[in-house]
Amino acid sequence: MKQVIKRNQGWSFLILSLILSLFFINQGHAAQPRKKTINLCQASGKNMLQSGLAQVRSDYWLALAKADNIPNPGKKKEAQNAAKKKLEEDIELSEDQYEARLELCEDLKEEYYQPEINPDHFVDYIDNPYLPLVPGMVFVYEKETAEGLETIHFEVTQEKKEILGVNCAVVRDIVHLEGVVVEDTFDYFAQDQEGNVWYFGELSKNYENGELTDLAGSWIGGVDDAQPGILMKANPQIGETYRQEFFLGEAEDVAGIRSLSESTQVPFGNFINLLETEDYTPITPGANEFKFYHYGTGLVLVINPETGERTELVDIQYHP
């Protein structure tokens, strides 16, 4: 991703306030360097930038208002400095997200994203060999993290959920950290007649210390302009890039196919001729994962290249 030049850390609050006023008024901001006519995909990215900056501005002034209510001068100054630092970081993130979305528009070569979903073109099973989802199957994964052992149970339930007229398989994805639930998600998938596995949404419940904290990342195709995407291609080809989900600001995962001939070893076994994808999202620029799928088995390994963490397949169970 392109890097954005850091802001001068020595601005006074007065100068910063004046610059902010001009910053949000000026529609020709430096974060929008492209002079050519933009298409709808790029226009969407531009509008998301303005939305993000408006939220950044709101958060900044709210933080200053809270600081004004602190009677201790030293603590008030600390709060003001913290607000300023967060403002600069959030502006940089918004600009990075904008650049990432524009680059994605160019990579995908799309005018806009609005897939045509015809329920008659979908089947009642998911047998894509790279992602077979048979009801009753439970894929068990483990990952060693700085916080402890993370265990993931990916269970293909017997349930169905209709979304956009399509009967989707319901998969429950439960994440435990040292035995405590941190995420409990229901994912909705369906396969079309060509063999592509589509992702139609998710209900993601996030927990902290055993308490439900939020539903961040949740979305349903057709609700609030959220659109389904393809989780696994029927005939993956090296160099392909495609959207896996599309709900602006919440769920914008993308996958690119890197290889069809990788090999690896995980607790469940040794595998060759693996499909490797790079998964990323413009919401968090620079963060990505490498996923490895085995023909006839499914996902066997996920690697975080930044931390080196490996999410490994340790078992496949069947509960009819």
Q: Which tens digit of pLDDT belongs to each residue from 118-177?
A: 999 999 999 999 999 999 999 999 999 999 999 999 999 999 999 999 999 999 999 999
What confidence tier does 12 reach under pLDDT thresholds 50, 70, 90? very low
- The CA distance from 172 to 187, in Å, is 6
Instruction: Provide long-range contacts, Cβ within 8 A and 24+ apart, for 20-25.
Output: 20/57, 20/60, 23/53, 24/53, 24/54, 24/57
For the stretch 22-36, pLDDT in tens is 444 444 444 444 444
Backbone angles phi, psi at 96, to 5 degrees: -65, -40
Strands 219-220 and 180-192, bridge-based pairing:
unpaired
For the chain, the structural domain boundaries read: 13-108, 126-318
Query: Can you tell me the mean pLDDT for 86-106?
Result: 93
Type of residue numbered 14: L
Q: What is the pLDDT of residue 39?
A: 81
pTM of the model: 0.83
- The CA distance from 118 to 128, in Å, is 19
Quote helix, strand, coil % in the chain, to nearest 5. 25, 40, 35
Classify domain 126-318 by CATH architecture.
Beta Barrel (2.40)
What confidence tier does 69 reach under pLDDT thresholds 50, 70, 90? very high
**Would you say residue 15 has pLDDT above 50?**
no
Instruction: Identify the three-state secondary structure at position 295.
Output: coil
Q: What is the pLDDT of residue 2?
A: 38
Q: What is the pLDDT of residue 4?
A: 35
Backbone angles phi, psi at 61, to 5 degrees: -70, -30
**Would you say residue 58 has pLDDT above 90?**
yes
